[in-house]
Structure 1
């Protein structure tokens, strides 16, 4: 009730802070679950889920929190998101990429494996007509995806190699 004191929480502890020690910020975060997933902040993610923030909500790019957790390599966040009922594994963003595309492109084989175990589709192509397999930037991810696809497809250039030309390879 006293305006000279504000309630604050840091590292799981809540207490009172003199109001002249902090500045009020009017900015808000449009997609807090996405931000928690991007940053790998498990406690913030739990807080969002406890407050029933929609797990399949899309940001401006059409991406889900699961996509951003996979893009950032935050396996603990991915696992926490999988505890939510009806989580959408195969949502494609505006570029056509799925969480599996992101994990493969960033080279997170442990997350690729987890997504595949949960039933992520390997046949979805992004706007560049690439499968997650085509986006794989390391052998471990490519091997997992190839095994799941059950094909003998020849691996194409990785996404990273697509952007290198002879001048850049020096």
Structure 2
């Protein structure tokens, strides 16, 4: 594996906007607009990934950025049309979908496949976060050291130091610095006494 990475490193460095030392993207299914994809150092992207930074909504400076020491599991699908930033030391499990866009559906006289792509909010997954298996994040950001439980669908921002689960995802715990513990919360993130 080390030999394989040493051989591909110079090729990837030329193909991508940036490709950090000791990083690897294994047996990907598809890479769209790699010059708009910036991968930090010591990043691992598992097998069968689909990574895209394709300005389909008209943003010429479209950018997908993956920070240092991040691990992305197998079969990840990350589709950026404006801005997705995954900060450093993020852990992303298998079969996770992350996008800052969606298919348009407003015109009921036209099939959805014929409608334009709609730009959603920029996505930032802050450092130290953990994204569970089969999670879908669409036009929402995840706070620092937060956790999103398996099979969750995130369409609204999750603050720092929170645990969110469900479809749609709701906050169930938040870290209390005062009590030095993860405590249960209501759906708005307020501590339950």
Q: Is the shorter-chain TM-score for this pair beyond 0.5, marking a shared fold?
A: no
TM (norm. structure 1) is 0.27
Specify which structure has the higher proportion of strand.
Answer: 2
Which structure shows the higher helix fraction? Answer: 1
Work out which of the two has the higher radius of gyration on C-alpha atoms and give 1 or 2. Answer: 1
Q: With structure 2 as the length reference, what TM-score do the two structures score?
A: 0.25
**More contact order relative to length (CA 8 Å, sep ≥ 6):** 1
